[in-house]
Structure 1
Amino acid sequence: MNSSIDLAALLCSRLCHDMLSPVGALNNGLELLADERDPEMRQRCLDLLEQSARTSASKLKFFRLAYGAAGGFGEMVPAEEPREVLQSLTANDERVTLEWAVGEQSLVKPAVKVLLNLASIGLDALVRGGTLAVGAERSGGTTEIAIRAAGPRIAFDAKVGEALAGELDPAELSGKTAPAHMIRELATSLGGGVQFAQSEGALVLGAVLPDPDGMIG
């Protein structure tokens, strides 16, 4: 089997899994709206449809930047793009606070991909809410990324950690661990790397990424 094809298939599986809930909610909302006659209940259905549509759009924007080629941008992506994606993903969860500490006006595409995937891992770890702090700095042709997820309970899948560390057998990859494997491979292909450390109340994830060949630092 072609490893690149296998990885693409696993990422597609992850995308479909994550989209199932908001798209299913859209379908349910439409079915309820078709049968409902009470004005108050119809408004609730419309609110459900609006929220589900926003969630679906937010997730698709995330997938475009985190998994895809981010078409429409050059080598550099405005930092506003990943910030807006993360804001939209956390907007509906009052238990999660996003702290954005990226001073750069733009980031190279690989850095955006790694930043969003590490942030997603951090969000998944905040099972009881908390704070997701996102930072990035570019200097001398290298981007340093730091993500800190802090909360009352941190749930971090050991297999995701193995994938980030390059210790997971590719044959054991799943839709959950494929993004971590992807960014590990991306970072090492550029001559950089990813790291993580977990304590009782926090998960810290980081990456150092040299610019792709041909770019001016």
Structure 2
Amino acid sequence: MNDNSSVDLAALLCSRLCHDLLSPVGAMSNGLELLADESDPAMKQQCMELLGQSAKTSTDKLKFFRLAYGAAGGFGEMVEVAEPKAVIDALIADKKRVDVNWAMDAAKLPKDAVKVMLNFAHMALDALVRGGTLDIGAEIVGGNSEIVVRAAGAKIAFDESIGKALEGNLPAEELSSRTAPAHMLYLLAEKSDGGLQYQLSDDALVLGAVLPQPEGLIG
């Protein structure tokens, strides 16, 4: 990946981050304006509740982006699975009619595997437009991190351009803020000689990854 492509990808990921944060941050701004002009105690309480919820949503999203897109400073090369699990649980809390099942057979995962799991979970949640079930599994087998995320529901909404980006089949000029995270995962898998795949049907989306662990982490 050349320097220009790296800059373009970073710009698209920043666009996605800004898009996802615009709503809760905007809600905080609106809440502050209402609070400044409001004299009724009951309405002020409602404004405070709005501010509290918007602040929590913004914090949850920033925690997600830190681990899913960034370098995750403050963590070692291996991340406790409790960290991404808490982030995903917070995202699910904002969704209606979505149940999650966890199957985590590893206490820690490499940073790149955590990025894959978080982004897979985000894609799967977006696909559950009418609610459903989200199954998330991760384990380390034979020196490989194996990740699987399955979304099952009455109607699955998955843009197949995201699937093409996961497979490295989406031309660079067609990348957007929506497909950039999938392209980032493709690059992570390619760098480590790993692999990504997805299967889509009317009522289910399955996302899978096998990523060899860095040599220094293989015990």
TM-score class, shorter: over 0.9
User: Equivalent residue for 2:29?
Assistant: 27
User: Equivalent residue for 2:70?
Assistant: 68
Tell whether the 8 Å contact from 2:144 to 2:211 is kept in structure 1 after alignment.
yes
Deviation for aligned residue 1:56: 0.3
1:48 aligns with 2:47: no
Aligned partners of 1:191 and 1:165: how far apart in 2?
13
Deviation for aligned residue 1:143: 0.7
- 1:114-133 superposed matches below 5 A: 114-133=116-135
Deviation for aligned residue 1:117: 0.6
> Which one-letter code corresponds to 1:34 in the other structure?
A
RMSD: 1.1
Q: Deviations over 1:135-157 (max 9, x none)?
A: 00112210110000111110000
The partner residue of 2:167 within 165, 168, 172 is: 165
- When the two structures are superposed, what TM-score results if normalisation uses the length of structure 1? 0.97
Deviation for aligned residue 1:102: 1.1
Give unpaired runs (5+ residues) of structure 2.
none
User: Equivalent residue for 2:14?
Assistant: 12
User: Equivalent residue for 2:107?
Assistant: 105
> Which one-letter code corresponds to 1:28 in the other structure?
N
Q: Deviations over 1:149-177 (max 9, x none)?
A: 11111000011111011110011100000
User: Equivalent residue for 1:179?
Assistant: 181
Aligned partners of 2:214 and 2:191: how far apart in 1?
9
User: Equivalent residue for 1:58?
Assistant: 60
- Runs of at least 4 residues off by over 2 Å: none
The partner residue of 1:78 within 67, 80, 84 is: 80
Identity of aligned residues (%): 64
Moved more, 48-57 or 29-38: 29-38
Provide the secondary structure at the position in 1 that maps to 2:215: coil
- When the two structures are superposed, what TM-score results if normalisation uses the length of structure 2? 0.96
User: Equivalent residue for 2:136?
Assistant: 134
Q: Deviations over 1:17-60 (max 9, x none)?
A: 11000100110111111111222211111111111011000000
Aligned partners of 2:194 and 2:94: how far apart in 1?
34
Aligned partners of 1:47 and 1:133: how far apart in 2?
32
Aligned partners of 2:132 and 2:56: how far apart in 1?
22
Deviation for aligned residue 1:184: 0.8
Aligned partners of 2:124 and 2:180: how far apart in 1?
15
Give unpaired runs (5+ residues) of structure 1.
none
Deviation for aligned residue 1:94: 3.0
Aligned partners of 1:103 and 1:94: how far apart in 2?
27
Aligned partners of 2:100 and 2:115: how far apart in 1?
18
> Which one-letter code corresponds to 1:62 in the other structure?
F
User: Equivalent residue for 1:149?
Assistant: 151
Aligned partners of 2:135 and 2:50: how far apart in 1?
29
Provide the secondary structure at the position in 2 that maps to 1:162: helix
Tell whether the 8 Å contact from 2:105 to 2:140 is kept in structure 1 after alignment.
no
Aligned partners of 1:119 and 1:143: how far apart in 2?
16
Number of residue pairs the alignment of both structures matches: 217
